[in-house]
Structure 1
Amino acid sequence: MPSPRIAFLGAGNLASAIVRGLLDEKVCAPADLVCTSKGGETARKLAADTGIGHEADLARLLAGADTVIVAFKPQSLAAADPRLAELTRGKLVLSVLAGKKLATLARTFPHARALVRTMPNTPAAIGAAFTPYCSLAPLAEADRALVERLLNALGQFAALDESYFDALTAVGGSGPAFLFEFVAGLRDAAVAAGLPPDVAYRAALETTLGAARLLARSGQPPETLRDKVTSPNGTTYAGLQVLAQRDFRATLRDTIAAATARAAELSKDS
């Protein structure tokens, strides 16, 4: 089955991650994808880097597209070109805009044949995303299959109720940044403990990767694997005592709560 023609409204980091995921997994060829961006610079760069098309004129961009991926900045939705309502008539519209609810999206894309909200994260670029999705109305079988085919190219996906999306934005959308910060902190701590910077970074990165792979493959709860590493009164125990004293899990709860609250603020109608 030939790949559908997909138009990207926006060409920033998330759009780039999705494009690269689709191309790497061979779900689409470069000729099947086209993008645009405000000012055109990021669209030209994405096109040059990946071989996809770019088109500044909105009508020409959408003329041949069956699927439209909305990937500009969420705050730009309120000022989106009013022609989008008619130009997306009869098309499958898939949004990756953080915090923008289906009811809000429907005001900009009132005539879409199907309207889907998703929240992929940047690991989509290597086919390792977790992407929840929901739709304004039940999807026709062909549209559901298309949505899941696209999302499958990005990694794991799940159809979930929209009420979960603020928390999913905090965990899935923002979560990679929190993990990157953890690796940076582990690296800096290793340097402070006396390791050379290059060795410290390699040790922090590979330890994180290895532990995550082990966890994913084991099928066991993280606490079980933690306990297997921990000897009574050993080095791991000493470190875990500090995490417990500083209430590490409470810090993570506060982090996710803050991100969830911000997602809820962004989802309020302006």
Structure 2
Amino acid sequence: MITVSVIGCGHMGSALLEGLATVEGYRTIGYDVDPAVLDDVKSYCDRTTTDIDAISDSDIVALTVKPDIVPTVLAEINLHAEQTLMTAAAGVERSFVSNQTDATVIRLMPNLAASLREMAAAVAWDEPDPAVETMLSDLGSYVVIDETHMNIATALNGSGPAFVYYLIQSMQTRAIKEGLDKSDAQTLAIQTFIGAAEMVRAADEPIESLIDAVCSPNGTTIEGMNVLFDSNVDAEVGDALTAATERSAELAAEVDHE
């Protein structure tokens, strides 16, 4: 039985707890200073608490608070060398956290799909942690990266879901405008993204080949793709990732100057 405590039960913390609640082998504790927040996650936890000392014996402690709160939390918790502190605060570097705890520090960038066990996560560590490896696999898929790349990972899989939601909404909205029923448009837009993502994952060929496979000569798809090819949409999406990456770096600088 792995004991996992989550410090900060907002959107991300709640998603981790909700996902773990559907997997055997975990005992979970949700900590937050706000009792109302704990009320929202109590059905996902074995225990909720406003007492920070209650997490002191956990195998894994996930820090899912806002970056500016991290120094305050680190000053309040007392962890030992056999424990793992997994920080998921955007922009907060492992070196900053390691200087204030005896625990092994891992940096993680998860996303909210953890609640459905479809999380995409990036992790940076000095050595693999078997318990964390198991937990991340139970919650979805993860990649191990050098911490110098964590800002772009934060933008890609941390912020990226919002960009995808925007694209789904854009396609759905136009389909409705063209006369399709709202519920039908939503179903088709959502499943189209799910199916396309699964096709990319299963394919042994580049995405360009998948695009070509849908584009019959003089057909409907190529007409639509020509609009995209003639636009700057690829650059705009790239700029969104860059903006999120740069903000992650700014957050790191702000924390380091505390």
| TM-score (normalizing by structure 1) | 0.88
Among 158, 165, 184, the alignment partner of 1:173 is 158
Residue type at the aligned position of 1:50: Y
The 5 A counterparts of 1:55-204 are: 55-59=49-53, 61-80=54-73, 82-84=75-77, 87-90=78-81, 91-107=83-99, 109-112=100-103, 114-135=104-125, 138-139=126-127, 144-204=129-189
**Deviation of 1:117 (Å):** 0.5
Q: Which one of 13, 19, 22 corresponds to residue 21 of structure 1?
A: 19
1:236 aligned residue: 221
Q: Which moved more, 1:229-238 or 1:249-258?
A: 229-238
CA distance in 2, matches of 1:200, 1:35: 38
Q: Residues 27 and 150 of structure 1 are in contact (CA less than 8 Å); yes or no, is this contact kept in structure 2?
A: no
Structure 2, unaligned stretches of length 5 or more? Answer: none
Q: Which runs of 4+ in 1 moved over 6 A?
A: none
Write the deviation string for residues 204-263 of structure 1: whole angstroms up to 9, x where unpaired: 112222222222222322111110110223211111111122222111111111111111
Q: Partners in 2 of 1:164 and 1:74 — Cα distance?
A: 18
Q: 1:81 to 1:105 in 2, by over 3 A?
A: closer
- Supply the distance in 2 between the matched residues of 1:93 and 1:128 (Cα, whole angstroms): 22
Q: Distance in 1 between matches of 2:70 and 2:167?
A: 33
Is the partner of 2:180 in helix, strand or coil? Answer: coil
Q: CA-atom RMSD, angstroms?
A: 1.6
| Percentage of identical aligned residues | 26
Does the 8 A contact of 1:27 with 1:153 survive in 2? no
Q: Is the 8 A contact 1:37 1:72 kept in 2?
A: no
- Between the two proteins, the alignment pairs up a number of residues equal to 254
Judged with a 3 Å threshold, the aligned counterparts in structure 2 of structure 1 residues 66 and 209 are, in CA distance, closer, same or farther, namely closer
8 Å contact 2:5–2:30 — kept in the other structure? yes
Query: Residue in 2 aligned with 1:45?
Result: 40
Q: 1:46 to 1:120 in 2, by over 3 A?
A: same
- 1:27 and 1:18 mapped to 2: Cα distance? 14
Question: Structure 1 CA distance, aligned partners of 2:94 and 2:56?
Answer: 24
The aligned residue for residue 238 of structure 2 is 253
- 2:9 corresponding residue in structure 1: 11
Task: Give the structure-2-normalised TM-score.
Answer: 0.92
In 1, Cα distance between equivalents of 2:7 and 2:222: 50
**Structure 2 CA distance for aligned equivalents of residues 159 and 189 of structure 1:** 38
Is 32-41 or 251-260 further displaced after alignment? 32-41
The structural deviation recorded for 1:40 is 2.5
Question: Structure 1: any 5+ residue segments left out of the alignment?
Answer: none
